[in-house]
């Protein structure tokens, strides 16, 4: 005969909210991390929770960036350099000597003295 499930003690876990609603996150850390967090919070004027959230957000964005870089490195390693540049938002341009250059998004070539061939004066 099976045993009935034990009743869980404490408040039931709620699903995460949508939008900007703040939700609680239980977290255990070692003494060294706690001390570092306290120092950062005091220095920035944030609460421990605000500082922890900021650091977690930075770590998540950094992981996304690294994963994107890994994908680009894989493309470059596989010989798809042009695909890697395009995926990263670069634009192909030709230098006056005919060589190919890759310009980052938002780069204004005229600031460097580069003039696209269509704009050259005869």
pLDDT of 16: 63
Distance CA(87)–CA(89), nearest Å, equals: 5
Contact between residue 82 and residue 88 where contact means Cβ atoms under 8 Å apart: no
Residue 119 sits in the same domain as residue 79: no
Residue 62 vs residues 55, 56, 72, 75, 106: alpha-carbon distances, Å: 10, 10, 15, 20, 22
Is residue 16 a part of any domain in this protein? no
pLDDT tier at 109 (50, 70, 90 boundaries)?
A: low
Is residue 94 a part of any domain in this protein? yes
Residue 42 sits in the same domain as residue 53: yes
pLDDT of 113: 53
Residue 79 sits in the same domain as residue 105: no
Residue 79 sits in the same domain as residue 31: yes
Is residue 112 a part of any domain in this protein? yes
Residue 36 sits in the same domain as residue 84: yes
Residue 66 sits in the same domain as residue 96: no
pLDDT of 28: 92
Is residue 40 a part of any domain in this protein? yes
Q: Which of 14-18, 70-74, 107-111 has the lowest mean pLDDT?
A: 107-111
Domain count, the chain: 2
Is residue 9 a part of any domain in this protein? no
**Residue 96, domain extent:** 90-122
Is residue 54 a part of any domain in this protein? yes
In the chain, what percentage of residues exceed pLDDT 70? 68
Q: Mean pLDDT: which of 1-10, 37-46, 84-93 is highest? A: 37-46
Residue 34 sits in the same domain as residue 61: yes
User: 31-88 pLDDT, tens per residue?
Assistant: 999 999 999 999 999 999 999 999 998 888 888 777 777 766 666 666 777 777 888 8
Is residue 120 a part of any domain in this protein? yes
Residue 47 sits in the same domain as residue 57: yes
Task: Tell me which residue of 48, 16, 15, 3 sits closest to 29, measured CA to CA.
Answer: 48
Query: What mean pLDDT is reported for the chain?
Result: 77
Q: Mean pLDDT: which of 21-25, 31-35, 111-115 is highest? A: 31-35
């Amino acid at each position: 005969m099976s045993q009935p499930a034990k009743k869980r003690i404490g408040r039931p876990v709620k699903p995460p909210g949508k939008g900007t609603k703040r939700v609680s996150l239980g977290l255990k850390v070692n003494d060294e991390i706690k001390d570092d967090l306290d120092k950062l919070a005091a220095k920035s004027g944030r609460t421990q929770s605000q500082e922890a959230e900021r650091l977690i957000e930075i770590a998540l964005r950094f992981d996304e960036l690294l994963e994107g870089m890994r994908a680009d490195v894989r493309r470059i390693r596989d010989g798809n350099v042009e695909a890697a540049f395009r995926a990263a938002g670069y634009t192909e341009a030709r230098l006056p000597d005919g060589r190919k250059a890759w310009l980052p998004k938002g780069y204004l070539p005229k600031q460097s003295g580069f003039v696209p061939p269509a704009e050259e004066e005869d």
